[in-house]
Amino acid sequence: MYAVVNIAGQQFKVSKDQQIFVHRLESKEGDKVQFDEVLLVDDNGKISVGAPAVEGAQVSAKVLEHLKGDKVIVFKKKRRKGYQTRNGHRQQFTKIAIEGISLGKAGKAAAKKEESKPEPKAKAEAAKEVKPAAKATKAAAPAKPEPKAKAEAAPVKKEATKAAKAEEPTSKTEKKDAPKGDQSAQ
The stretch 98-124 carries a mean pLDDT of 66
Cβ atoms of 25 and 97 closer than 8 Å? no
d(CA 5, CA 100): 12
- 88-111 as b/e, with b when 16 or more CB fall inside 10 Å? eeeeebbebebeebbbbeebeebb
Least reliable range by pLDDT among 1-5, 100-104, 140-144, 151-155: 151-155
- pLDDT at position 25: 96
3-state secondary structure of 81: coil
- List the one residue out of 38, 59, 35, 56 whose CA is nearest residue 108: 56
- pLDDT at position 4: 96
Is the four-CA dihedral 47, 48, 52, 56 of positive or negative sign? negative
3-state secondary structure of 185: coil
The stretch 51-67 carries a mean pLDDT of 95
Q: What ranges do the domains of the chain cover?
A: 2-134
Residue 36: which residues within 8 A CB-CB, separation 6 or more? 53, 57, 58
d(CA 25, CA 31): 11
pLDDT in tens, 31-46: 999 999 999 999 899 9
Using alpha carbons only, how large is the chain's radius of gyration in Å? 38
d(CA 95, CA 62): 9
Maximum Cα–Cα distance for the chain, whole Å? Answer: 109
Cα distance from N-terminal residue to C-terminal residue, the chain: 94
Q: How many other C-beta atoms can be found within 10 angstroms of the C-beta atom of residue 178?
A: 13
The stretch 142-150 carries a mean pLDDT of 57
The stretch 145-153 carries a mean pLDDT of 54
pTM over 0.85? The answer is no
Cβ atoms of 45 and 24 closer than 8 Å? no
